[in-house]
Amino acid sequence: MALSTAERQRQWRQRQTGAIRFSCYLSPEAGAALRRLGGWYRLSQRQLLERLAHSAETEALQAVVPGGLEWSLYFGKPEDTV
């Protein structure tokens, strides 16, 4: 079956950038905070979300032992936990 235009575009974008599409609704408060923070740091909302995600992951990973059970669970390797 032939791919739709949207599907071909999605595949092309993934090949070009490896990026994923993230679409969601935020509460008015969270949306306002995102706009304010983006303006304060002179970042786009996308850039700000990326930085927040990286920062939160870095903080979370500092609390676990590399190669340990929590590490394996975090990275989705349940076979390593047996």
pLDDT surpasses 60 at 82: no
Are the C-beta atoms of 45 and 35 separated by less than 8 Å?
yes
Reading the block at residue 68, the tokens are: 């340990």
Q: In this structure, are residues 81 and 73 in contact, taking their beta carbons and an 8 Å threshold?
A: yes
Q: What is the pLDDT of residue 78?
A: 60
Number of domains into which the chain is organized: 1
User: In this structure, is residue 16 part of a structural domain?
Assistant: no
Q: What whole-number distance in Å separates Cα of residue 33 and Cα of residue 41?
A: 12
Residue 13 forms part of a structural domain: no
Report the distance separating Cα 31 and Cα 44, nearest Å: 13
Residue 32 lies in a domain: yes
Residue 48 lies in a domain: yes
pLDDT tens digits, one per residue of 57-74: 999 999 999 988 898 888
pTM of the model: 0.66
Q: Return the pLDDT at 60.
A: 92
CB atoms under 10 Å from CB of 60, counted, come to: 11
**Higher confidence at residue 18 or residue 41?**
41
- Does residue 70 sit within a domain? yes
